[in-house]
Amino acid sequence: MQLEYMTVDVFTDRRFGGNPLAVVTNAEGLATTQMQSIAAEFNLAETAFVLPPRDPSHTAEVRIFTPRAELPFAGHPNIGTAFVLARLGTIYGRAVGDPLMFEEKAGLVRLELIRDGGAVAGARLSAPQTLTRGGDIASDVVAAACAIAAGDIKTANHQPCIASCGIGFVLAELKSCSSLAAAQPHAEAFAKQLPADKATGLLLYVRDRHDDIDIYARMFAPLYGVPEDPATGSGNCALVGLLASLRPERDLTLQLRIAQGIEMGRPSLLEAAAEKKAGRVTELRIGGRCVAMMRGVLEL
C-alpha cells in the first residue's frame, strides 16, 4: 500500500519556521491504529489524514493525530491541509473549491484560502465550536507545570482557566516576556495536576505590543507527545475568544497578531479574530501562511 504525503511549515512565510505538519492525502482504508503509528513515525506535533467526506457537499474528512493520541480539532493541521489540497487542485477525483469544508470529530471546519495574486499562500479557519470556558486552575498548579513562580502569573484580567473552541487548553497570562522565556514543561506535574483528559495542554501568553505583535505565546502538551508546540491554532483561537469575552463591549471584533515558537527557533505568526455580538462570542477565526517543504510516499 502506497500513501502519498506532503509536509508543510504552517503559520510562516519562510522555510524552517512555523509549525511542521505532515499531510497524508490518500488515507482511505487506514485503520486508526495505523494512523497513530504513522503519526508516531513522523513525530511531528500533528499529522493529518485526508479521507473521502461522508457528505459529498464537503471537501474531505480530516483526522488529526499527535505522536500519542488523536485530536478532535487542531489549528495548524487544518490550515496546512487546506493549503496542501488547494495546491493539489483535486482530492478523491473532485476539484478542491474555496471555501473548503472539513469533517472532524469536533464538527465542521470551514476554511478560506489566502492568496498572493493567484497563488495559494495559506488559509483561515472558523472554529467548529463556539467558545466555552471551563473551570479555573490554581496559579500554583500552572507554576509547577511550567517551572515558574506563581507570582509570575497575572490574574488581574482572569484566573488561569480552561477554554475551548473544539479542544480544551489551560490559558494563563504571565506578567513578563522574561517569565515566558524561562518556562519549561514538567511532565510529572502535568500528569498529576493537568491530566490529558482535563486539557490538551497549557498555553502561556504575555500581552506585549511590539513590531505589530499583540501577544507572545508558548504552549506545552507533554502528555500528548508534544513537549512544546511551535504554533497552536486551536489554543490561540480559544484565547482570542476568551479575551473578547472579557471586554466590556457587547459588540466587538477583536483581531490579534500572535507570535509563538520564538524560543524554539521556529518563529510563527498567527492571525486570530473573534466576533462578539450582544455580549456573546459568536465566531472564532485563526489563519496564517504556509510553505511547502517535502513530498513523498509511505510504503505500508
Looking at the annotation, which residues are catalytic?
A: 46
**All three cell numbers of 42:** 513522523
Query: Which residue has cell 484580567?
Result: 157
Strand-pairing partners, residue 22, are: 7, 47
Rounded to whole angstroms, how far apart are CA atoms 124 and 270?
10
Provide the CA 185 distance to its chain's centre, in angstroms.
18
Rounded to whole angstroms, how far apart are CA atoms 217 and 170?
13
Tell me the one-letter amino acid at 30: L
Rounded to whole angstroms, how far apart are CA atoms 283 and 280?
9
On whether the CB atoms of residues 73 and 128 are closer than 8 A, the answer is: yes
Nearest of 252, 256, 220 to residue 239 by alpha carbon: 256
